[in-house]
């Protein structure tokens, strides 16, 4: 493969590299599709075929004992917690399980109070923060899907409206309202407002200890809006790192910005992310795909191939919860 790549004219390499940056989306799942497309266009269909279907999960170096369903406590998110039990000692799985329990507790408070106790909202938002959720689709699914929390949309909206009427600086309600918005300027404005409110409220605010992730949600919103010129998103990730040093999610998202703004910085940041992130973090394989693309642009084929192989290996070790419809299905949507 390295010899074949070396035979590609520099002008053609540059054209393909520029095309990658022109079409690449700022979500890590899009990188999968972009890299697959690049392989196909470069004549490496045999490698692209390896990405046609999600690979089955394999055992990691840890021994994962099977857990019976009756050993896991009941709750609307039981199926999610159950599939993570074999990995429960890993940092990534621990955060997701803990977040599920908080959300389930919050939903219980809401249902038992007839959607009048705002403490339930606080628990749910804390669960989202622990799981480091970013997209409106993810928030929507957990809140309202029948196979997740299955909350009443109208009653939840009524509670948030009532809370904000009595306390316009209720950061939990402001955050949840903003997080459910699509990627647009309104979402950006709402997330800026949330960050400002939390800072003004100080340490007594329930979201103060999660301020780093609030800034990441803000930055990610900007990144999705301005992927061709994402410099406006960088200050948000800088703020996130000021509130939580070496926060892996912020480092990864900043690196996505740098792919367009400064590829050498992006390489350094992705490598830093890989030093900080737990092995099962859902962005590990994305980072390796990004590094493969970046090294390919610099005509460092050996490093590009190395990170491509590492990305495939990381995919095999990802948690079951990372298996969403982001492989062949997403690639087809991007390039159809």
Give dist(CA 321, CA 66) in Å, integer.
Answer: 17
Q: Which structural domain, as residue segments, surrounds residue 163?
A: 62-180
Give dist(CA 33, CA 24) in Å, integer.
Answer: 9
Domain assignment present for 79: yes
Give dist(CA 164, CA 161) in Å, integer.
Answer: 5
Cβ atoms within 10 A of the Cβ of 243, count? 19
Nearest-10 Cα torsion for 171, 176, 179, 181: -120
Q: Which residues of 61-73 are buried (b: 16+ CB within 10 A; e: fewer)?
A: eeeeeeeeeeebe
Each of the 336 residues of the chain gets a pLDDT tens digit; together they read 444 444 445 444 444 444 443 334 434 444 445 555 555 555 555 455 444 433 333 333 334 455 556 677 888 998 889 888 888 889 999 999 999 999 999 999 999 999 999 999 999 999 999 999 999 999 999 999 999 999 999 999 999 999 999 999 999 999 999 999 999 999 999 999 999 999 999 999 999 999 999 999 999 999 999 988 999 999 999 999 999 999 999 999 999 999 999 999 999 999 999 999 988 888 898 888 888 888 888 888 888 888 888 888 888 888 888 754 332 233 233 223
Q: Provide the domain count of the chain.
A: 1
Which residue shows structure tokens 């950061």? 171
Structure tokens at 188: 């950006």
Cβ atoms within 10 A of the Cβ of 12, count? 10
pTM, two decimal places: 0.77
Structure tokens at 309: 């192989």
Which pLDDT does position 290 carry in this prediction? 87
Domain assignment present for 41: no
Domain assignment present for 328: no
Domain assignment present for 172: yes
Give dist(CA 145, CA 133) in Å, integer.
Answer: 16
In this structure, are residues 271 and 81 in contact, taking their beta carbons and an 8 Å threshold?
no
**Who contacts 196 (Cβ-Cβ below 8 Å, separation ≥6)?**
none
Domain assignment present for 279: no
Q: How far is CA 48 from the centre of its chain?
A: 24
Q: Return the closest-CA partner of residue 278 out of 25, 119, 108, 94.
A: 94
């Amino acid at each position: 493969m390295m010899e074949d790549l070396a035979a590609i004219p520099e002008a053609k390499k540059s054209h393909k590299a520029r095309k990658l940056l022109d079409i690449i989306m700022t979500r890590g799942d899009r990188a999968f599709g972009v890299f697959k497309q690049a392989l196909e266009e470069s004549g490496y269909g045999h490698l692209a075929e390896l990405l046609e279907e999600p690979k089955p999960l394999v055992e990691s170096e840890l021994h994962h004992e099977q857990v019976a369903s009756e050993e896991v406590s009941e709750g609307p998110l039981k199926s999610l917690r159950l599939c993570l039990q074999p990995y429960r000692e890993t940092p990534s799985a621990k955060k997701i399980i803990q977040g599920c329990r908080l959300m389930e507790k919050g939903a219980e408070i809401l249902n038992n109070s007839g959607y009048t106790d705002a403490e339930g909202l606080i628990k749910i938002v804390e669960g989202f923060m622990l799981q480091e959720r970013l997209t409106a689709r993810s928030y929507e699914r957990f809140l309202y899907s029948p196979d997740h929390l299955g909350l009443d949309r109208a009653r939840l909206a009524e509670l948030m409206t009532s809370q904000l009427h009595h306390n316009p600086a209720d950061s939990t309600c402001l955050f949840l309202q903003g997080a459910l918005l699509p990627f647009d300027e309104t979402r950006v404005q709402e997330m800026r407002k949330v960050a400002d409110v939390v800072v003004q409220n100080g340490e007594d605010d329930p979201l103060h200890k999660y301020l780093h992730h609030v800034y990441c949600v803000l930055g990610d919103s900007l990144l999705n809006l301005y992927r061709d010129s994402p410099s406006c998103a960088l200050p948000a990730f800088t703020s996130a790192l000021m509130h939580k040093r070496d926060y892996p999610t912020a480092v990864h998202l900043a690196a996505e910005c740098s792919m367009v703004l400064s590829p050498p910085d992006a390489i350094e940041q992705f490598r830093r992310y890989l030093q900080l992130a737990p092995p099962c973090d859902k962005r590990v394989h994305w980072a390796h795909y990004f590094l493969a693309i970046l090294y390919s642009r610099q005509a460092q084929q050996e490093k590009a191939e190395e990170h491509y192989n590492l990305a495939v290996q990381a995919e095999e070790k990802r948690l079951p919860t990372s298996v969403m419809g982001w492989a062949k299905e997403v690639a087809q949507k991007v390039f159809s």
